[in-house]
């Protein structure tokens, strides 16, 4: 086991990462190849923008593109929208404020949360965002919304209400939603994406589009279209591990939190005993209500989310661990005397597979700049108070060598360090929003996404409520980027 404990500058949410151990299934015995028959594919629909994947980035992209006037179709392989935030039970939404409490991730993200019913949102009131008050920090830090001594806007949301909320927002915007449809491969002609082939109970169909937005999370479309990508990781870091999340009901989380805060020695003994009995072990996070506990682990490393046997292995382990944790906590944890298994996630908790090699890139060396980039389309909070906000370039959404396609979500162009926070749900909302606007403008103007005027994208983003640096900061960045004569 590689432990990632504490709150360092680059790891503010501590967790254990468990290395892969003995496998539950033998390897497959297949060898050789077979030839699949060629066939004609029926065209299901033709649209301006095809969004592939209905997770946070896909929802934001589809909504933004439709709001900008595009005819949008979203293809989603599961039966709901929200991706890992709903089907993966990653209901804890990471920080959307900077370290002074300013709300920097807005646009789709803000409208989405503002539309949630109050009882489905748990988090600090706005007047506490950025607070360094000791008591407020102590309270909210145990509810995953205060870090480095500062209260943040990082709420926990009811996943079922998120599913409905996203669905209704997209339908109201005019998006065509296609559930239970797995995008199998992109349609590419002369280096330009023209749509996708997807599989469903109807069989194999084609969806044609002027622009494709890859929000699969794993870069399935751009990778299969031949775009370049990166796969390097930070060894020992939580951000490339996998798990299936789950929730347990019938608990008293306030009692659990009081016990773990005031009995640290007993907590250490409890943790050691849990690891000894179960091997993989995880303590809970709060959910949107005090009688439900959220488990986003144990995180398992050394397994690939692009390998079907590895994915199966994680699912087998995680479902066993859910029941094991339920029984262990019932026997030993204050507040869990009446606990029961409520729900396991329907989606595997994947954090990293591929990252686009884009025209631009978010890199660790630039975290300290705090200034706008010349093609900024979003502003993200930084990893710690040591760093200012991070300016997100449009180039990080644009493939170097593939036209007709943009990306949004955890597979944007960035280095392995920056991926640690750019993969989070608010950042996926941010980059998906920008990709949706870029795609709509490209489709409307009949140009490739790389040719769209970034100022036009920024104008629409502002109209849709996104937060950006002011124009003077962007102009200054452009002046600075011009080589001296």
Torsion of the alpha carbons at 57, 53, 463 and 129, rounded to the nearest 10: -30
Average pLDDT over residues 115-125: 97
Tell me the per-residue pLDDT of 143-188, one tens digit each, with 9 for 90 and over: 999 999 999 999 999 999 999 999 999 999 999 999 999 999 999 9
What's the rounded Cα separation, in Å, for the pair 456 and 166?
Answer: 26
The domain 238-349 having CATH identifier 3.30.70: the answer here is: yes
Ranges 124-138, 292-306, 463-477: which has the least confidence: 292-306
Exposed (0-12), middle (13-18) or buried (19+): which is 385, by Cβ within 10 Å?
middle
pLDDT in tens, 290-306: 999 999 978 888 888 99
Average pLDDT, integer, range 448-466: 98
Nearest to 426 by CA among 165, 105, 52, 161: 105
Cα separation, 340 vs 325, whole angstroms: 10
Residue 33 in this model has a pLDDT that exceeds 60: yes
Distances (CA, A) of 240 to 8, 249, 417: 18, 28, 11
In sequence order, what DSSP letters do the residues of 232-266 get, joined into one string? ---TT-GGG-EE--EEEES--HHHHHHHHHH-HHH
Axis-axis angle for helices 454-463, 425-445 (nearest 10): 120
Let me know: does 166 contact 112? Beta carbons within 8 Å: yes
DSSP lists the bridge partners of residue 198 as 183, 205
The CA distance from 85 to 160, in Å, is: 10
CATH topology of domain 41-116+158-231+353-484: FAD/NAD(P)-binding domain (3.50.50)
Look at residue 483 in the predicted model and tell me its pLDDT. Answer: 64
Nearest to 459 by CA among 441, 475, 477: 441
Instruction: Read off the pLDDT of each residue in 126-132 and give the average, rounded to a whole number.
Output: 98
Question: pLDDT tens for residues 42-99?
Answer: 999 999 999 999 999 999 999 999 999 999 999 999 999 999 999 999 999 999 999 9
What's the sign of the alpha-carbon dihedral 384, 388, 394, 395?
negative
CA nearest to 406, candidates 168, 89, 64: 64
- Helical H runs in 79-133? 108-114
Nearest to 353 by CA among 215, 224, 219: 219
The model's confidence at residue 479, banded by pLDDT at 50, 70 and 90, is confident
CB burial of 243-274 (b: ≥16 within 10 Å; e: otherwise) equals bbbbbbbbbbbeebbebbeeeeeeeeebeeeb
d(CA 194, CA 210): 6
pLDDT band, very low/low/confident/very high, at 3 (cuts 50, 70, 90): very low
- Give how far Cα 6 sits from Cα of 9, 14, 253, Å: 10, 5, 21
CA-CA distance, 44 to 47, in Å (whole number)? Answer: 10
Average pLDDT, the chain: 93
Measured CA to CA in angstroms, residue 12 lies from 8, 112, 145 at distances of 6, 25, 11
Tell me: pLDDT of 10 over 50.
no
Q: Where are the domains of the chain?
A: 41-116+158-231+353-484, 126-154, 238-349
- pLDDT over 50 (residue 220): yes
Question: What number of residues does the chain have?
Answer: 485
**Which range has the worst mean pLDDT, 70-79, 309-318, 446-455?**
309-318
Is 236's pLDDT higher than 90? Answer: no
Q: How far is CA 208 from CA 51, 175, 193, 428, 441, in A?
A: 11, 15, 9, 25, 17
Q: At what angle do helices 159-173 and 56-67 cross, to 10 degrees?
A: 20
**Rounded distance, CA 69 to CA 57, Å?**
18
pLDDT digits (tens, 9 = 90+) for 366-408: 999 989 999 999 999 999 999 999 999 999 999 999 999 999 9
Same fold for the pair 41-116+158-231+353-484 and 238-349:
no
Q: Say if CB 251 and CB 339 are below 8 A apart.
A: yes
Q: Tell me, what DSSP letter sits at residue 26?
A: P
């Amino acid at each position: 086991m590689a432990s990632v404990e504490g709150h360092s500058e680059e790891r503010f949410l501590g967790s254990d990462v468990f290395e892969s151990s003995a496998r539950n299934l033998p390897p497959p015995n297949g060898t050789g190849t077979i030839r699949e028959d060629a066939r004609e594919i029926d065209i299901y629909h033709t649209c301006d923008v095809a969004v592939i994947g209905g997770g946070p980035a896909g929802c934001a992209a589809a909504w933004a593109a439709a709001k900008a006037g595009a005819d949008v179709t979203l293809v989603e392989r599961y039966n709901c929208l929200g991706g890992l935030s709903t089907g993966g039970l990653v209901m804890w939404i990471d920080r959307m404020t900077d370290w002074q409490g300013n709300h920097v991730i807005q646009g789709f993200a803000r409208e989405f949360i503002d539309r949630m019913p109050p009882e489905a949102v748990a988090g600090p009131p706005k007047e506490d965002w950025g607070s360094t008050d000791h008591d407020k920090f102590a309270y909210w830090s145990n509810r995953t919304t205060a870090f480095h001594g500062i209260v943040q806007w990082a709420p926990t949301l009811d996943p079922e209400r998120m599913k409905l909320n996203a669905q209704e927002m997209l339908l109201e915007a005019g998006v065509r939603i296609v559930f239970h449809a797995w995008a199998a491969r992109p349609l590419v002609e002369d280096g330009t994406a023209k749509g996708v082939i997807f599989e469903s109970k109807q069989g194999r169909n084609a969806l044609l589009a002027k622009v494709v937005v890859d929000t699969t999370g794993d870069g399935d479309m751009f990778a299969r279209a031949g775009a370049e990508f990166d796969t390097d990781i930070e060894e020992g870091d939580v951000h490339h591990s996998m798990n299936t999340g789950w929730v347990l009901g019938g608990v008293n989380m306030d009692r659990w939190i009081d016990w773990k805060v005031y009995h640290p020695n007993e907590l250490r003994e409890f943790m050691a005993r849990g690891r000894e009995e179960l091997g993989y072990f995880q303590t809970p996070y709060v959910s949107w209500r005090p009688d439900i506990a959220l488990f986003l682990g144990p995180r398992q490393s050394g397994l690939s989310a692009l390998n079907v046997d590895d994915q199966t292995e994680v699912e087998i382990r995680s479902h066993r661990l859910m029941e094991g944790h339920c029984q262990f906590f019932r026997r030993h944890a204050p507040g869990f005397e009446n606990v029961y298994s409520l729900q396991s996630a329907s989606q595997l908790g994947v954090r990293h597979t591929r990252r686009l090699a884009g025209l631009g890139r978010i890199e660790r060396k630039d975290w300290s700049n705090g200034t706008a980039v010349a093609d900024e389309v979003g502003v993200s909070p930084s990893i710690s108070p040591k760093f200012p906000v991070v300016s997100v370039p449009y180039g990080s959404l644009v493939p170097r060598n593939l036209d007709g396609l943009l990306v949004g979500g955890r597979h944007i162009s960035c280095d392995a360090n920056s991926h640690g926070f750019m993969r989070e749900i608010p950042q996926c909302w941010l980059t998906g929003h920008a990709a949706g606007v870029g795609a709509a403008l490209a489709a409307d103007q009949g140009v490739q996404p790389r040719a769209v005027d970034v100022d036009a994208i920024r104008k629409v983003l502002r109209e849709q409520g996104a937060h950006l640096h002011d124009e003077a900061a962007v102009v200054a960045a452009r002046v600075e980027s011009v080589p001296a004569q």
